[in-house]
Structure 1
Amino acid sequence: MEETTVKRPNLSLLEKESIREIYSAALRILESVGVEINNFEALELLHQNDVIVDFNKKRAKFPQDIVEKCVKSVPSEIKIYSRDGKHDLLLKDNNVHFDPGSAAINILDDGVIRKPVSDDLEKFVRLAHHLEYIHAQSTALVITDVPERFVDRYRLYIVLKNSTKPVITGAFTKDGVHEMKNLLEIVIDRGDIAKKPIAIFDACPTPPLEWSEITSQNLIDCARYRIPVELVSMPLAGATSPATLAGSIVQHTAETLSGIVIAQLVNRGAPCIYGGSPAIFDMRQGTTPMGAIETIMIDCAYAQIGKFLGLPTHAYLGLSDSKTVDSQSGFESALGIFLGALTGINVISGPGMLDFESCQSMEKLVIDNEICGMALRMIQGIQVSNESLAEGLIREIGPGGYFLNSRHTLKWFRKEQFIPSILIDRMTTSSWQNRGSKTTLQRAKEEVKRILAEHEPEALSPDIEKELESMAEKWRFA
């Protein structure tokens, strides 16, 4: 058996000593400054477990030994299941998975940015389900045709009805997790969601160093049910965190560790994902550019901290600050997707997103799907073996020969090459002109229409669909 070597390309922005310094600084911040937590149940839980709590100030200070003990109790890998068993995710090591960005308040529709409704989310979910390199769904749009207090659970209902892929979601209300858990357990035929999680919930601290009442409760409830929770710290360098990248990463680390402690004190071994959505703050425009190279650098660096701690990782990457699908949206998204993949981030959320984190585009999603496929090919690396070196074949063909009709070429070209869809133009100029001289955006619009016309979601069983519909009815017309 011949020996094969493959080096997976990796990106490391921080040396091990720098990682230790950032982690140690975060521990000192948690112990000396602490975190404001606006939830009595969380404060009481921390107090009962030897965290120093000032109930008047709603401030908790975390002893280092408690933090480190809690970090060690987090699972180092998490399996997220799919309804059909064909799209399961294993979050560990350098496995990379992509999902669309979550909770956009707008959708780009034929060049017009507008508020989304349920039908938009249904189409978006059906599209994402068909895309090969979008491995999971998200509750991608904040719909406006359902009463606001029920939007979180109704979005999840739409996703579960229209796709078998796992979903990244989150609750907007204190009681949202409970009803969303019921939806998830209906879909897995009243199974135990702790044993077969098909969703990840986001929990976002408020920078700097604060947890709101609602998000704290969501975190507690997810931990109690053992629903995987993604801790999404969002420091803004220069605005709600230090202007230095290292300082923002220290704050991100402290905020994330505080969430891990809360989850583990609720339920030891509760699955947590070391995630985030930080950004720099643009001093000229007063905006939070998600496509900025420094934003991407913060993401990739904090993911190294998560890996150092042995935890599954997440980041918001693949987004663009452009307001339309153009060159800017292409290069910003590609930068984030490729650098995140090189870092080995387990869950990369963001494909499809424009206008910072506020807008989704179906055309951008199908374009980003191609970028994700290319990034996944790149991290497979270059296989080196006696057969792939092809020394004998080169000798056989010799000067002036052709490799096109060799058996070696037939065997290897599909293994070695990423074969893009018709969205990517690799035609000759004359062929391109004969087919209408279409731009990437034009081809993307046609691809969206084709997929939505040709592909229907895999149906739920009649009993499960009826039960879901019964729950959804009370939210839709409340």
Structure 2
Amino acid sequence: MNAPVSRRSGGRAARHAARTAPLAEHLRPVRPGLTGGHFAPLSAADLDRIHHAALAALEQIGLANAPASGIRAMTAAGAILGDDGRLRFPAALVEDTIARANRHVTLCGRDPRHDLDLSGTRVHFGTAGAAVHLVDAATGTYAESTLQDLYDATRIADRLDNIHFVQRPMVARDIPDPREMDLNTLYACCAGTTKHVGTSFSEAAFARDALRMLHLIAGTETAWRARPFVSNSNCFVVPPMKFALESCEVMEACIEGGMPVLLLSAGQAGATAPASIAGAIVQAVAECLAGLVYVNAIRPGHPAIFGTWPFVSDLRTGAMSGGSGEQALLTAGCAQMHRYYDLPGGAAAGIADAKLPDMQAGWEQMCSNVLAGASGLNMVYEAAGMHASLLGFCHESLILGDDLIGQALRCVRGIEVTEDALSLEVIRATCLDGPGHYLGSEQTLSLMQTDYVYPNLGDRSSPKEWAERGQPNLIAAATARKIALLARPSTARFDPMTDRAIRAAFPIHLPA
């Protein structure tokens, strides 16, 4: 009678010890750069048809409104400027560009342990967006987002294991001057995290100012160029099929300064892109291929992310619907096109139309995050924290998103089938000679941390235990963790000499 009790007690103690022991990075059940690509909503024939339709769109329709500098670079590479002012791209030029584009892009962190390898179907989740409101999860109210809100979001993301990079998720609405807003956004993000940072700039001159700040942070221009830890999120097109003049000038400045670029095409299906999912993908692919020609005409092999980033409309109203199943499929289809070209790619997922971190937000965020990761998307942007179809950002939702993405990453990892995993000998030993359960088995103990993901805040207790603990609320738990994280000083802040040099050169609004 006592033997099974002793065995079970020992198993429980062993399980506790296993769970509290830190794991080496390569043994963690989920981690940056897990390989996706198991989900494929498009067939091989579908991919070919989308590719050829995009080539036809570029050759027959082309793009309007390129800046003079872009026209010079792209026509020198083989694009044709028509009498109607539209640049058209022969199929041979596009396919040659695809063939020689940079496929070995690593986005650096200020800390090398946060470097992101974008080869193949390696998957990374992070923030992004330009929300103009901060969501108060306790009161349900929206207030204009500030620089401090952005800095706090970056500091929180820096501490979350499943947020692999930080692209600016909010606009600092308390800084009206565009130049100062761009520079302070960059400062706040880099002072809040040593993970890779993405941001945008309103004008080319502001991008050049930002590069001077980055040289100070890196130590020298040479050090910056060796390991550029910030990328430019660049909306170089205004869908449908027009270049965005000022953004293109920013892109040229960033390329000159050695900054990787995200070629971001953000049409909205049913509004600025075709309503059909396939048609929206065709337009996004065509626009990004034009961007790829543009980048490589200026500097062959410059690191560029193929940012097919189309959104979906609720066709009843025309409003954006980032949390829809159609959005999840659209993002997954774009990820397949990145794989088709073997190019580093990024798109949006994890957006909630829900106004608060509630059940609607949960299903909307999980649906698109799982499909994006399972389809092998290299960079999953806007994966946590975004509400109200990108109008609001919530710190608590960012923290809850870390748990959600952990589960999504476990789906990305998939099921390993090995001789050990098939478990025949474990079944034999347990059923014929053992206790009749697997709770204390060597296999269970060895897999409980390497194969299973446990939420930080999600509650898996029984109803009785939950009631005895005062029925803890998930949002309250996220708020408590937010307060604890923000009470700790940022490990990314610059050394005093560097900070003084930055503040002497630029109008920094955050207190020293």
Aligned partner of residue 356 in structure 1, secondary structure: helix
1:119 aligns with 2:148: yes
Q: Which amino acid aligns with 1:158?
A: A
Question: Which residue is 2:129 aligned to?
Answer: 102
Question: Over residues 390-445 of structure 1, what are the superposed CA-to-partner deviations in whole Å (9 max), with x where a residue is unaligned?
Answer: 32232222266232223332222111211221x10101212211222123222222
Partner residue in 1 for 2:252: 220
- 1:197 matched residue in structure 2: 228
SS in structure 1 of the partner of residue 101 of structure 2: coil
2: CA distance between counterparts of 1:9 and 1:62?
Answer: 30
Out of 39, 52, 55, which is 1:11 matched to? 39
* Correspondence for 2:55 among 5, 11, 27: 27
Label 1:7 to 1:124 Cα distance change in 2 as closer, same or farther (>3 A): closer
**Cα distance, 1:48 vs. partner?**
3.0
How far residue 122 of structure 1 moved from its aligned partner, in angstroms, is 1.3
1:384 and 2:417 matched: yes
* Post-superposition offset of 1:9: 6.5
Residue 309 of structure 2 is aligned to residue 280 of structure 1: no
- What is the distance in 2 between the residues matched to 1:430 and 1:380? 33
**Number of equivalences:** 470
* Residue aligning to 2:21: none
The superposition leaves residues 352-394 of structure 1 with CA deviations (integer Å, 9 ceiling, x where unpaired) of 1011122111111111111111122222222333333332232
- Decide which moves more: 365-374 or 63-72: 63-72
Distance across 2 between alignment mates of 1:385 and 1:212: 51
Once residues 250 and 7 of structure 1 are traced to their aligned partners in structure 2, the CA distance between those partners, rounded to angstroms, is 25
What one-letter code is carried by the residue in structure 1 that aligns with 2:420? Answer: E
Give the match for residue 464 of structure 2: 430
1:218-276 alpha-carbon deviations (Å, 9 max, x no partner) = 22222333321111111222211222111111111111111111111000111111113
Superposed CA deviations along residues 128-172 of structure 1, whole A, max 9, x for unmatched, are: 100000011122211022233221221011111121111111112
Deviations 1:92-143 (A, max 9, x none): 1111111112221111024211111111111111101000000111222110
Deviation, structure 1 residue 322: 1.0
Aligned residue in 2 for 1:254: 286
Of residues 441, 447, 462, the one that matches 2:481 is 447
Q: Which amino acid aligns with 1:416?
A: D
Distance apart, 1:475 and its partner CA: 7.5
Moved more, 100-109 or 205-214: 100-109
* Cα contact 1:230–1:272 (8 A) shared by 2: yes
Counterpart in 2 of 1:211?
A: 243
Q: 2:101 aligns with which of 69, 74, 82?
A: 74
Structure 1 letter corresponding to 2:355: K
Identity of aligned residues (%): 27
Give the distance between the partners of 1:49 and 1:408, measured in 2 at CA: 59
The one of 292, 300, 303 equivalent to 1:271 is 303
CA contact 1:152–1:171 (8 Å) conserved in 2: yes
Per the alignment, residue 276 of structure 2 pairs with 244
Matches within 5 A, 1:157-172: 157-172=187-202
Residue 345 of structure 1 corresponds to: 377
- Opposite residue 109 of structure 2, the aligned amino acid is S
Q: Show the 5 A alignment for 1:119-138.
A: 119-138=148-167
Q: Distance in 2 between matches of 1:279 and 1:270?
A: 27
* Counterparts of 2:89 and 2:250, CA distance in 1: 20
**Structure 1 residue 374 corresponds to structure 2 residue 407:** yes
Residue identity matched to 2:72: E
Q: Distance in 1 between matches of 2:36 and 2:208?
A: 41
8 Å Cα contact 2:36/2:373 also seen in 1: no
Contact 2:166 2:196 in 1 (8 A): yes
Query: Which residue type is aligned with residue 254 of structure 2?
Result: C
TM-score with structure 1 setting the length: 0.93
| Unaligned 5+ runs, structure 1 | 1-5
Residues 7 and 381, structure 1, Cα contact 8 Å, conserved in 2: no
Cα 1:217/1:475, change in 2 over 3 Å: farther
Specify the alignment match of 2:445 in structure 1: 410
Q: Which moved more, 1:204-213 or 1:410-419?
A: 410-419
Deviation at residue 455 of structure 1 after TM alignment: 5.2
Amino acid at match of 2:68: F
Q: Give 1:182's aligned residue.
A: 212
Counterpart-to-counterpart distance in 2, 1:286 and 1:128: 32
Question: 1:410 and 1:290 mapped to 2: Cα distance?
Answer: 40
Distance 1:362 1:212, change over 3 A: same
Match of 1:3?
none
The amino acid across from 2:309 in the alignment is S
| TM-score, normalised via structure 2 length | 0.87
Aligned alpha-carbon RMSD (Å): 2.1
**Structure 2 unaligned spans of 5+:** 1-33
SS at match of 2:253: helix
C-alpha contact 1:274 1:303 (8 A) present in aligned 2: no
1:62 offset after TM fit, Å?
1.1
Aligned counterpart, 2:117: 90
